[in-house]
Structure 1
Amino acid sequence: MSYKTLDDLDDGQRVLLRADLNSPVEEGRVQDNRRFARHARTVRELVEKGHRVAVLAHQGRPGRDSFVPLEQHADILAEHVDQPVKYVADTYGPSAIEAINDLAPGDVLLLENVRMTDDELPEKEPEEHAKSGLVKRLSREFDAYIGDGYSVAHRKHASIVGFPLVMDAYAGRVMVAEYEANSSIASKEFDGEVTMVAGGKKATDVIEVMTALEDKVDNFLLGGIAGELFLRAVGYDVGRDIGDMDLYDEQYHRNREKIQHMIEAHPSELVYPTDLAYEDENGERAEVTVSDVKNKDHDYLDVGADTTSRYADIAAHSGAVFVKGALGVFEDERFAYGTTNILEAIAACDGFSVVGGGDTSRAINMYGLREEDFSHVSIAGGAYIRALTGKPLPGVEVLKRANEAEAEVAE
């Protein structure tokens, strides 16, 4: 049994939409990002069908500079929806309830940062959250709950798992698109080899994904921190901290057994970098063959040209490609070569392609690539990893439970 979607929702309802509008905040200004554009599609559809829409979202965490109210978010969302979005500096108190009751068909209201309530952040089971003041009070004001915040679906927070137990619940368009694309590596058969780009700084996450998918992936294109750690494990003098660096040694020792398992169990599936790029004494990009590295004395910031060419060829001829992490520090144009070229090869291939959320997906916009040339560009980070590793997402599972419970009642 799966979840219900917006296709199952009658028109003209009072709906509570849980979105994820969490964004970078720079000098007090909330930055626009693709999350607004994605959720705006769901909002526009609801508006067109005459729903009264209240949006529940979060920003940052208590104690961080990014923990700010959602007033700016309302203005950014309004630009994407192409109509006014009202804002109320309250989540479920009297001001919020009044603003909700004042909604007319087609109106959109953004409630205050849900993480500013005491009920939201504690990790609890859905049954406990369903009894919270937040869920009990807001659920009385709506006909339906729409879970659209896929990128927070790995959290057991009140606004994510509590409402579906006490309300008619549906998966929004973002939730459906993300879940189906990100879980496809474990659930679909592809016409050709399955390739994963395994890079980025968070090697522990990448290695967890690799071990979970060891029997699903034909080619792991290694780069970033993970690439150096695997090279270190097979005897090359890289993958070590130098100076005050703290990226390699701790992650290597933490994941050593998993790395060794992959090397022994899947030697033909691991594709290693043969050259790496670094900044020379003149501030220019320079490259070195991995076998020539003796006593690592550079921070390697990208894969080299030979590695990039090999990787691009493998990706271009794959039936499916999943990207988990960049191949280099693409924010610096000197070291964007590996990441941008592999993305261009993936964009040009005929296979199914998913680019993971977070930093890697930013390279698409930074270097003029088109999002529509990929099958899916995820806006999720932690939820993307959980989907790839086959772990259940509480925010998805509770929508399925709600549908199952309704089906049992109907019988």
Structure 2
Amino acid sequence: MTSPIKRIDGVTLSDKRVLMRADLNLPVQDGLVSDWTRLERCTPTIRHIIDRGGQVVLLSHFGRPAGQYDPQLSFKELLPQIRDKLALSCELLDHRGELPLASLNAQQEIADVLLVDNTRFFSGETTGDQTLSRAIAELGDCFCLDAFSVSHRNHTTVTGLASFLPSFAGFSLADELDALNATLATIGRPCVAIVGGAKVSTKIDVLRNLIPKTDTLIVGGGMANTFLKAIGYEIGSSLVEDDQLSTAREIMQFADSFDCALVLPTDVATHHTFASTDKALVCDIKDVGESAMILDFGPTSMASIKGIVSSAKTLLWNGPLGAFEIIPFEIASVEVAKFVANRCASGELKAVAGGGDTLALLAKAGVSDDFTFCSTGGGAFLEWLEGKKLPGLSILSTVS
């Protein structure tokens, strides 16, 4: 459970410029946004501010430009799509990572929403730089955090602005905390976790923290390849972290010590390249060819996961089982998602999913509204489950 936070309800917004930290790190394919969930979640807060006479100065990162301007990671190309989705007047503050911002801000036309270009173009964004915090704070009168997905980051536009401006939570953030607290007040057993992702190295702490809390941990995505190679399987040309093989073996031993079953695929769907195909080869994990690339769980593994889920009371899901972005390697993830949704509908299972890729997967499967709750957070969602204090929430804790 988290401490009470200050909320947007009751805040006077008339004639205020509200710096609003959202998460517009949206998935894009062929220049088009493929999933609008994160923007849709924060839209009620945007409209609330405008309806009450305020103007929104929208802040967000996009990708990982590492403190340097990258035109491919600018919101400039996405602005027409964002504007259409919001159905509001929206202008871009094109700062190129340079200060001061006040003069640039003065050049902008009056609009309902002023979208500050990628905050990670600023070299001090990810370090919580106070000079940058002060410069951005000059753009507004108050600060609203409405992105649970970044609340675990001690970044300038997450925690730094609260040092200079009155601060509160938007509807999306507040509602998400309420739902997580209500859903996970008690975790029913057996508890199953599905954790996917490209690299083991990015999920080591997550795996270590989930193992003592779960009965079964299903490892998917590219990270499963590292575990498979660590126990001696040939994985062809599949994505793998050779420097994490010993870590994978340690994690498996750690799971054994807690009697947590760590599940890997026993059959897989492969292709010779990372691309869509109508000729995927399904084979036993012992028969992966030298040039084959593992891209999804096979039908036997998929059936095994359904069997595990069929007896579970709680399921936590972060990350797809396979390369769901390309056909036909979405099959296992989509079919398991539908199975989970059906069990939720029958009242037999409490399922909580989190993370951008996971939300996109559930949208693709058409079951986004059928899970018990879908969190916008990836790392924040998992750190919250671990009981860690999230910096973005700490700054909003109620004060007298």
Which category of TM-score, normalised to the shorter sequence, fits these structures? 0.7 to 0.9
Cross-structure match for 1:258: 251
Asked if residue 49 in structure 1 is aligned to residue 80 in structure 2, the reply is: no
Cross-structure match for 1:9: 11
Cross-structure match for 1:212: 209
Q: Is the 8 A contact 2:133 2:161 kept in 1?
A: no
Give the C-alpha shift of residue 252 in structure 1: 1.5
Cross-structure match for 1:337: 331
Q: Is the 8 A contact 2:269 2:297 kept in 1?
A: yes
Unaligned runs of 5+ in 2: none
Picking from 300, 318, 335, the partner of 1:324 is 318
Asked if residue 307 in structure 1 is aligned to residue 313 in structure 2, the reply is: no
- Name the aligned partner's letter for residue 9 of structure 2: D
Picking from 288, 292, 297, the partner of 2:283 is 288
Matched residue of 2:211: which SS? coil
Pair 123,229 (structure 1): closer, same or farther in 2 beyond 3 Å: same
Cross-structure match for 2:357: 359
Runs of 4+ in 1 over 6 A off after TM superposition: 182-185, 280-283, 294-297
Alignment of 1:9-408 (within 5 A): 9-10=11-12, 12=14, 14=16, 15-23=18-26, 29=31, 31=33, 33-34=35-36, 35-60=38-63, 61=65, 62=68, 64-68=70-74, 70-89=75-94, 92-97=101-106, 107-117=112-122, 120-124=124-128, 129=130, 132-135=133-136, 137-138=138-139, 141-142=140-141, 144-179=142-177, 188-232=185-229, 235=231, 237-238=232-233, 240=234, 242=236, 247-262=240-255, 264-279=256-271, 284-290=279-285, 292-293=286-287, 298-350=292-344, 351-367=349-365, 369-400=366-397, 403=398, 406-407=399-400
Q: Is the 8 A contact 1:182 1:388 kept in 2?
A: no
- Name the aligned partner's letter for residue 143 of structure 2: Y
Give the C-alpha shift of residue 11 in structure 1: 5.0
More helix by percentage? 1
Query: How many angstroms apart in 2 are the aligned matches of 1:211 and 1:184?
Result: 25
Pair 384,66 (structure 1): closer, same or farther in 2 beyond 3 Å: farther
Q: Is the 8 A contact 1:231 1:272 kept in 2?
A: yes
Q: How many pairs are equivalent?
A: 382
- Name the aligned partner's letter for residue 40 of structure 1: T
Matched residue of 1:307: which SS? helix
Give the C-alpha shift of residue 343 in structure 1: 0.7
Deviations 1:74-101 (A, max 9, x none): 433332332322444458313415759x
Give the C-alpha shift of residue 71 in structure 1: 4.1
Give the C-alpha shift of residue 359 in structure 1: 2.7
Matched residue of 2:213: which SS? coil
Larger Rg: 1
Query: How many angstroms apart in 2 are the aligned matches of 1:246 and 1:159?
Result: 34
Give the C-alpha shift of residue 241 in structure 1: 5.5
Query: How many angstroms apart in 1 are the aligned matches of 2:206 and 2:236?
Result: 27
Matched residue of 1:38: which SS? helix
What TM-score do you get using the length of structure 2 for normalisation? 0.80
Query: How many angstroms apart in 1 are the aligned matches of 2:160 and 2:166?
Result: 12
